[in-house]
Structure 1
Amino acid sequence: MTFADSGNKRVTVTGPTGLLHFLASRRMAVMRSSMELKHTEVPSSTVEDATPAPVFVDDRITVYAFPIHAEHATTEPTDEKSPSEAGPSIPAKRKRSSSPAGPSKRPPTKAASDHELDESVATAEDAIHPDEAEAAADTDTPDYNTLCDTDPQKWRTLIVNSMFPLQGPELTPEEEFAIRKRTRREQKMRENYLRAGLPIPPALRQPSTAPSSQPKFTAIRSDRGRRLPRFTYGPEGRATLCYVLVGPTGRGHFDREKAELLQVPRGPERARLTKGETVKFMVDDGAGNKIERTVTPEECMGPPEIPRAMVLLDVPTPSHIPDVVKSFTQNPFYSEFHSNPATDPREPVVHVVYHLCGKGVLEDERYKAFMRGFPEDTHQVVSSREHGDDRVVFSRAAYNQLRLGLLDPDMFPLPTHRPGPRRDLSSIPGLPARVEHLRHSCHVELRPAREPCIDPFAKPDFFTPVIEAGAGTWVPEDVHRAFLKAKKKISKVKEVGREPRSGDNVEIVPLGTCSALASLYRNASSTLVRIPGHGSILLDAGEGTWGQLARLYGDDGQDTVTGVWEVLRDLRCIFASHMHGDHHLGLSKILAMRKLLDPAPTQPLYFIGLPSHIIYLEEHSELEDLGLNQADGNGVIAISGNHLRWNPKNSKEQQRRDIPEHILLRRQEKTQQDVENMYNALGLKCFTTVDVAHRTKCYGTVIEHRDGWRIVFSADTMPSNKLVEAGQNATLLIHEATMADDQEEMAHDKAHSTFSQAMKVASDMQAENILLTHFSARYPRMPPTTSLPDSPRASPSPGPHLGLAFDQTRFTIGDMWKMKFYLRAIELNMGDVAQDDDEDTMISSWD
């Protein structure tokens, strides 16, 4: 989607078997009509006795890909089990294969799952009107039920193609926005007719926009509440891909002396020779006669340049070593890249090999012997967590955090980092001579072939050395005075004393505070709520949430007990508010990492989201074990947010009449038991979802604890009266403030809130504290504060304690009163950081 927003019209993605299923599972969150996405799914088996077809070719490079598999026990998975439930698979012998291996041919289950039924009864907003269904049936889109049985891979292809159709003329962003706005208005009018039980007028049955400018998402619309055809890996099991990139064969140098001896005329004939063509021309034989002479390129061209190659090997575990070794010893094509330099100038020479090594791979004697099999002059670059440092990645943001730590080290902790490796490569015996660890900004050029070197044009990093020193941080004089003034005021308030209140010890950790996409200082949306003695709740999980957790709490890679793993083990609930990707695309990564905990969790993790979220997780779990519905009951238990809605009087009208009553009752009983178990685990009195006004179906939430405190989370929304009513007397309101007050019209069009609107919601709700978050990328460092009630430049007014969310800060609700004293100091500090930062900021919008 970032590619599409930056103007790229065509992108090709290559991956292993399951790539199409992976892409199609994102259909309810990821789509762009302005781009075409091509996909190449590499077969699970390779061809041994023929040159494989490249996965990418242009005039400069040719790329080949081959899969490797882990060696497992001899238990073959049955068709009745999902990949997460199935036992280890047998590595199959390599066989001839000229097309991607498809998923299991077992017909998918006809009966819909509970969550598919949930989706069909979700709300009127999600339902497809019969008129729309009839219109969809008139298109040439093949039938779902037919393709599920005959060619499920084709259905996935149709889904992906409809996500990125590149249809119609190229439109400006303003034109696309106008079309989307008009389409949403018409959709809203259709929904109103549906709710009123009135027939939809003919003019509203189809979008009024021209077909050439309005992309057809028929396949997505008709498949919205339905799972993809079920995917299972073949007998080879899950594969990882390795790549070989071959550069061009450069022509030899033109030998002018030989051309003069052969009397090759200057001009077109010499140009044709350099292109590899044979030329004929007339010359004087010395006796005054003209004769025809034929000259081949070999007669006046030097030897061609030997093509250079790069090999990329992804070896996640030692059990993958036998297969990668086999690929370079038994396969006649790839074995040429693992031998001594070729004497044939047309044969490529491997210039560099990149080894992406999982734990224990580099120390394995089999792999070290394999590395030594490459030519001695081959550069071998290793990427391994065990043998590399763990430096600060986003040094500018960390430097800002370091300076704010002078103001309050508890609220602004420095990201964890380790300058040096746990184990140096030189301590591993038996490695090749020309081996080094992957370095930031290190370039290895293939043509002309050069030694690895640091990119001379890379921007120098002035911040990391200061961060690693950890002391002596300099701040400007005015910022230093502001820091001291804020601390002095806080000391005076502490002397007066403050009565302790319920919820004071609940910790709030903003992990991502940007809207749409990450910026230099802010990640996509996510907020962690830590309840002492009970566990944690994660409110949304945008892309990169796991990385934010790991940077804040630390991941030494040695165990799954301390640091971020301890926080992950303590996680009891994840809430996803809506299907926009910046709020949930980091979810599957967190669940996959939870499966790596050792020892395994002894309590379940409850996930609350839309039925669309649950379907997405179920589909993704067929590719990667996410711990859904584990037999021991300590996996991920999904609860549809529809069952927790704040407005129960409308629940009956949301249920479709075509669902048998006994199914509804059984599902409700199970869900109610899961909800009670979640309440007991977290000490909650209730967890309520509230419909809020956004451009798609979206829930806010009210979390009420038995100790008496209440947290309200707005998600993405315009000011919502429902949220105000449901969250009365909140201890803390976490509310989006995407736009500044001068962008009120844009906020309305995008169904977001301005700063002042969020403050009015808090006032109407009579909230004690408000934390503003989800800032537009227009404000990458510090959102405008001049209009906020607690701003030093605004007139003072009574109301809740105001806080602005910054990534990777940590504070308790009981400390939020300090934030209004910090605001001016933070603003001055951010202004100074901005002077040092000349990076451009991308302004975009998820919707």
Structure 2
Amino acid sequence: MSLSVFKPHLFKITFDVYRTQLIIIYFYKFLVIYSIRFYTNKGVKINSNLLSILKEMPKEPKHILEAQRQRIKIKQKSSKYVPGKVCLQILGTGAKGSPRAVYLFSDQSRYLFNCGEGTQRLAHEHKIKLAKLEHIFLTQTTWKNVGGLPGTALTIQDVGVPKITLHGPPGLNELFSATRRFVVLRDLKIEIAECTENNIFEDNVVSIKYVPIIGKPKNFTLEQIENSSSNENMGKAFSSSNNNDTDDTDYYAHECKGGVENIRSVSPTIQHLLQDNKERGIAMSYICRLKHRPGALNLDKCVFKGVPPGPLLGKLKNGEDITLPNGNVVRSSEVCDPDDPGPVFLVIDCPSEQYLDTLINNAEIKKHQKFAGNDNDVTCVVVHFTPTEILKLPKYQRWMDDFILSTEHILVNEANLCLGSIAVHRIQYKLNMLSPNLFPLLNDQGMVIEGNSDILLNKRPKCDSVNTIKSENGNIESNNLLRKDIGTLCKYHLRPKKGFDDYSQVRLDPQEYINETMVLPDFPAALNELKEKIRNTQMNLTIRNYPKILFLGTGSCIPNKTRNTSGILLQTSETQNIVLDCGEGTYGQIIRFYGLDESDKVLSNIDAIYISHLHADHHIGLIGLLQGRKRARQYLNLPNKAVYLFAPRQILGWLNFYDQCFEDIKEEFILIPNGDLILHRESYPKDDKKDLLGQLNLNDFKTCQVKHCPNAFGVALVLENGCKITYSGDTMPTENLIELGKLSDVLIHEATMEDDLAREAIIKMHSTTSQAIKVGNDMGAKYIILTHFSQRYAKLPRFNENFAENVGIAFDNMLVKVDELPLVPLLYPALKIMFAEHYEEMEQKAVKRQLKSEILAAQQS
């Protein structure tokens, strides 16, 4: 091996990057490997002891199994004690585009109340460790509460949690069964608690009582509701097409670990029961009480009483009275702080007015209002997932007034504004410095902003305490201490003290993000050079407003802080939009980019959604997007209009199941199977397609099968102005796509792996960067945009010599007009400096892979 490998800039080993034990192990491995290669090249025979040292050095841990073993040990130790610190923490505020998610946090265990779409991403960003999460409590089986369960479960599995228990209305187990083909949980056991009003969940931290709240649909009498669980005819309303849409495809069979085991469909009998529950309407509320905790031993009082160090202190701590050698009796109550009987808090969800009477008349909840028999039973805080329009009702307000004055009320619903992510703003402020047109600042208005700057247009106050709520008829006076407009990471402390705390609420500091970039060596000069190049290039361009492409998600597999899963918004005109793939959080990305008002217009103008294949990172956000689009059209007083859904026909098995068992969505889409539009094998009726293209203002829309999982497709769209846009979805290089995309104006192609990982790309059936670029060149595409990067490239992929002037890298929240594509490759030099630390880290990993490969080859030879 040549010493030229040792590039000095690759070995700036900082404590920030290399303080973990794993990196230290790798470093020493590297020294041994280099020594072997160096002396081998010099003709020196290597002592076998040196090779044995390398073999015996610590290996990477057996990831999931080892983590599970450690988790069980920790759990066994901690379960003997009642924790001294417990709080409720807002993870998702329930704002439009933000999940509804509240964390019950102790120094031993974690519990989650609701798990809306995007929960996992916020938990990852804010280091809300999921390793101790074992129980999730759902108030309704609706997407705004359960949309984040698949992604969260995958993350929980990856950090070594062996089992998770779901609590809530019926249907949670069936929900996971229905997603098992595209959400693979091989190492995580899902258990479903029996959540009846006679049952209670209890551990060493908390006891939680289930309070089912039953709705009363207008077409049901109370007697029918009470008897509906035995009414078998309820299930006959199912669409007969459901059986035909059953999907037994294993979408992960191509991966090296094997496919999904024991795939099973939800039985018709279970489906009938679920539809029964859907018609009845069940919302679960929870009465929660922390476990009684003995008062802590006060050492100052012990010293005053003359208690010597030793076992007598332990007896006093355990509640025993003792007698000192001098005969004095010391009572435990005299030297211990008062016991904490355990505060009570409620989690309430009243989805509509139909549930209200059942809620306000519930006898169990009354025991914790002003009617409580003793002070210890009085509620200290109520978390309301109830929609604002219900909370405004006088009847609901009077029910809230039945709590004592000191009870605090926290809203987790769409009245809040905070979407919770700092990271997406941080990187957008940095990229905005390169090009405000390509990277406009985001428009969500729910973040507290530090400092003063002319660029800060979306300031808002801290979360507020109010005593009135605006109703349709004016202000309703109330004695409630109501927390509204709360932010992510706000807390309510339950133990040792009680009270609301917004000190840890997420805040933005744009000037800090700009300053930390401007101090990078050579960046100011690179920025000036870039701006000059952009100005000179723009002088030779004629830039039309449309079409333009907004990248909503440019990462693969699961979201991380800076790259969401796959999603692209293609704006063909001011009044027409098409979505290409729809990973988790796509709806939230639209809200964050456009803001509340403008996003309603954008959502209402979505006329088509294309799903390339049925891996979760490409379609799990579809239901949330359909629901968001429906709400936007209702808000703008537009008539209901189904969206054209281009997707593998097998998606109907999932969508029909969800529609029949949980929420009505079938009226929101018209399925156009991707397989009916395949190039040279089109089976979609010509007259129907002509009408379809006319409604979408397209000249053509064709697909092809690509090399990834079963039923995976690429697509090419030709707009009315003749612009041709091709999108690969996920695929290895394939001639089908090259033929489909011939002479495209732009190819958007996945580039999941760097070139050094070509073997892994084959196993996963993805493309490397060079392969993606070659596909674009072979089809004669004018421009190529790379996307769908492995999450190891959180900020920037590795460049290579193939990155020419027609190749661009996609970022989340990058908005590029097709006529602006020549500007994107100009960003490379500044990007490499802006993300130098990240880029150096990738280079070091590449060197290590090369050395490991070489030493393995040397051993084998």
Q: TM-score when scaled to structure 1?
A: 0.68
Asked if 1:817 corresponds to 2:822, the answer is: yes
**Is the 8 Å Cα contact of residues 103 and 231 (structure 1) preserved in structure 2?**
no
For structure 2, the 5+ residue unaligned runs are: 1-153, 303-308, 324-330, 446-458, 470-475, 842-861
Equivalent pair of 1:510/1:528 in contact (CA under 8 Å): yes
Alignment pair present for 1:420 and 2:456? no
Cα shift at 1:553: 1.3
The one-letter amino acid of 1:447's match is: R
Show the counterpart of 1:241: 284
Q: Which secondary structure state, in structure 1, belongs to the residue aligned with residue 275 of structure 2?
A: coil
- Distance across 1 between alignment mates of 2:402 and 2:511: 38
Residue 586 of structure 1 is matched in structure 2 by 621
What displacement does 1:312 show?
1.4
Query: What is the deviation of 1:731?
Result: 1.4
1:536-563 CA-to-partner distances (Å, cap 9, x unmatched) read 21111000001001111111xxxxxx41
SS of the equivalent of 1:749 reads helix
Which structure has the highest helix share of the two? Answer: 2
Deviation readout 1:38-88 (Å, 9 max, x if unpaired): 113645xx5xxxxx311x22112111222334565x323xxxxxxxxxxxx
> Equivalent residue for 1:65?
210
Which residue does 1:485 correspond to in 2? 529
Matched, 1:217 2:250: no
Alpha-carbon shift at residue 568 of structure 1 (Å):
1.4
Counterparts of 1:386-785 in structure 2 under 5 Å?
Answer: 386=415, 388=416, 390-391=417-418, 393-418=420-445, 419-420=459-460, 425-426=466-467, 428=469, 430-432=477-479, 434-437=481-484, 438-454=486-502, 458=504, 461=507, 463=509, 478-496=522-540, 505-532=546-573, 535-555=576-596, 562-596=597-631, 597-598=633-634, 599-601=637-639, 603-628=641-666, 630=667, 635-648=668-681, 675-785=689-799
Supply the distance in 1 between the matched residues of 2:825 and 2:317 (Cα, whole angstroms): 73
Native 8 Å contact 2:746 2:782 kept in 1: yes
Whole-Å Cα distance in 2 between the matches of residues 233 and 22 of structure 1? 15
Look up the SS of the partner of 2:693 in the other structure.
helix
1:793 — aligned with what? Answer: none
CA distance in 1 between counterparts of 2:263 and 2:541 reads 62
Q: How many residues align?
A: 662
The CA distance in 2 between the partners of 1:789 and 1:538, in whole Å, is 27
Structure-2 residue corresponding to 1:26: 179
| 1: CA distance, partners of 2:187 / 2:517 | 47
- Contact between 1:71 and 1:322, CA under 8 Å: does it hold in 2? no
- How far apart, in 1, do the equivalents of 2:820 and 2:339 lie? 71
Per-residue CA deviation, residues 70-118 of structure 1 (Å, 9 max, x unaligned), is 565x323xxxxxxxxxxxxx567997x9xxx859623866998557546
AA matched with 1:487: K
CA distance in structure 1 between the partners assigned to 2:336 and 2:177 by the alignment = 52
**What secondary structure does 1:232 align onto?**
helix
- Give the letter aligned to residue 284 of structure 2: L
Q: Say whether the 8 Å CA contact 1:738–1:775 is kept in structure 2.
A: yes
What residue is the counterpart of 2:846 in the other structure?
Answer: none
Instruction: Provide closer, same or farther for how the CA distance between residues 301 and 484 of structure 1 changes in structure 2, counting only shifts above 3 A.
Output: closer
Shift of 1:406: 3.2
Q: Map Cα deviations across residues 172-220 of structure 1 (whole Å, 9 max, x no partner).
A: xxxxx99952747xxxxxxxxxxxxxxxxxxxxxxxxxxxxxx741525
Partner of 2:9: none
Amino acid at match of 1:783: P
Alignment CA distance shift 1:788-1:42 (3 Å)? farther
Q: Pick closer, same or farther for the CA change 1:303–1:595 going to 2, 3 Å.
A: same
Distance 2:727 2:561 in 1: 25
Kept in 1, the 8 Å contact 2:705–2:736? The answer is: yes
Structure 1 CA distance for aligned equivalents of residues 369 and 780 of structure 2? 70
Q: How does 1:224-263 map to 2 (within 5 A)?
A: 231-234=274-277, 237-251=280-294
2:249 and 2:406 map into 1 onto residues whose CA distance is 63
Q: Is the 8 A contact 2:749 2:786 kept in 1?
A: yes
Say which of 53, 66, 69 aligns to 2:199: 53
Indicate if the aligned counterparts of 2:553 and 2:565 stay in contact, CA closer than 8 A.
Answer: yes
Instruction: Note if contact 1:242-1:312 (Cα within 8 Å) is conserved in structure 2.
Output: yes
Aligned equivalents of 1:745, 1:609: Cα separation in 2: 29
CA contact (8 A) 1:578 1:698 kept: yes
The reply on whether 1:808 has 2:813 as its aligned counterpart is: yes
Tell me the secondary structure at the aligned position of residue 496 of structure 2. coil
The answer to whether the Cα contact below 8 Å between 1:325 and 1:370 also exists between their aligned partners in 2 is yes
CA distance in 2, matches of 1:736, 1:554: 28
CA contact (8 A) 1:724 1:761 kept: yes
SS of aligned partner of 1:217: coil
Q: Whole-Å Cα distance in 2 between the matches of residues 764 and 513 of structure 1?
A: 23
From the superposition, tell whether residues 495 and 546 of structure 1 become closer, same or farther in structure 2 (CA, over 3 Å).
closer
Q: Does the CA contact (< 8 Å) of 2:245 and 2:650 recur in 1?
A: no
Once residues 399 and 6 of structure 1 are traced to their aligned partners in structure 2, the CA distance between those partners, rounded to angstroms, is 27
Contact 2:607 2:644 in 1 (8 A): yes
TM alignment of 1:97-108, pairs within 5 A: 105-106=232-233
Identify if the C-alpha distance between structure 1 residues 103 and 554 changes in structure 2 by more than 3 Å, giving closer, same or farther.
farther
Query: SS of the residue aligned with 1:444?
Result: strand
Evaluate the alpha carbon distance shift between residue 119 and residue 304 of structure 1 in structure 2; reply closer, same or farther with a 3 A threshold: closer
Is contact 2:297–2:317 with CA below 8 Å preserved after alignment? yes
Per-residue deviation, 1:451? 2.6
Structure 2 letter corresponding to 1:817: P
Distance 1:372 1:317 in 2: 19
Q: Note if contact 1:116-1:611 (Cα within 8 Å) is conserved in structure 2.
A: no
Q: Closer, same or farther in 2 for the Cα pair 1:788/1:574, shift >3 Å? A: same
In structure 1, C-alpha distance between the alignment counterparts of 2:705 and 2:502, rounded to whole Å? 52
Could you say which residue in structure 1 is the equivalent of 2:396?
367
Shift of 1:434: 4.0
Secondary structure of the residue aligned to 1:315 is coil
Q: 2-side partners of 1:786 and 1:235: how far apart?
A: 54
Measure, in 2, the Cα distance between the counterparts of 1:465 and 1:434: 35
1:192-207 equivalence runs, <5 A: none
Gaps of 5+ in 1: 47-51, 77-89, 121-125, 129-162, 164-176, 185-214, 260-265, 282-295, 556-561, 652-667, 791-799, 837-847
Which whole-Å CA distance do the structure 2 matches of 1:225 and 1:612 have between them?
A: 18
Are residues 834 and 772 of structure 1, via their aligned partners in 2, closer, same or farther at CA, if it must alter by over 3 Å? Answer: closer
Change (3 A) 1:740 1:611: same
Does the Cα contact within 8 Å between 2:566 and 2:788 map onto a contact in 1? yes
Amino acid across the alignment from 2:670: I
**8 A Cα contact 1:443 1:454, kept in partner:** yes
Q: CA deviation at 1:523?
A: 0.6
In structure 2, what is the Cα distance between the partners aligned to 1:93 and 1:420? 49
Contact 1:65/1:244, CA 8 A, preserved across alignment: yes
Deviation at 1:6, TM superposition (A): 1.6
* Farther off after superposition, 429-438 or 577-586: 429-438
| Larger CA Rg, structure 1 vs 2 | 1
Offset of 1:685 from its aligned partner? Answer: 3.0
SS in 2 for 1:338: coil
CA contact (8 A) 1:22 1:623 kept: no
1:724-761 CA-to-partner distances (Å, cap 9, x unmatched) read 12211111111000111111111111111111110000
CA contact (8 A) 2:562 2:794 kept: yes
TM-score, normalized by length of structure 2? 0.67
C-alpha contact (below 8 Å) 1:315/1:361 kept by paired residues: yes
Q: Distance in 1 between matches of 2:401 and 2:511?
A: 36
Q: 1:679 to 1:248 in 2, by over 3 A?
A: same
Deviation at 1:14, TM superposition (A): 1.4
| Cα separation, 2, equivalents of 1:494 and 1:423 | 47
Q: Which amino acid aligns with 1:411?
A: L
Residue 141 of structure 1: aligned partner: none
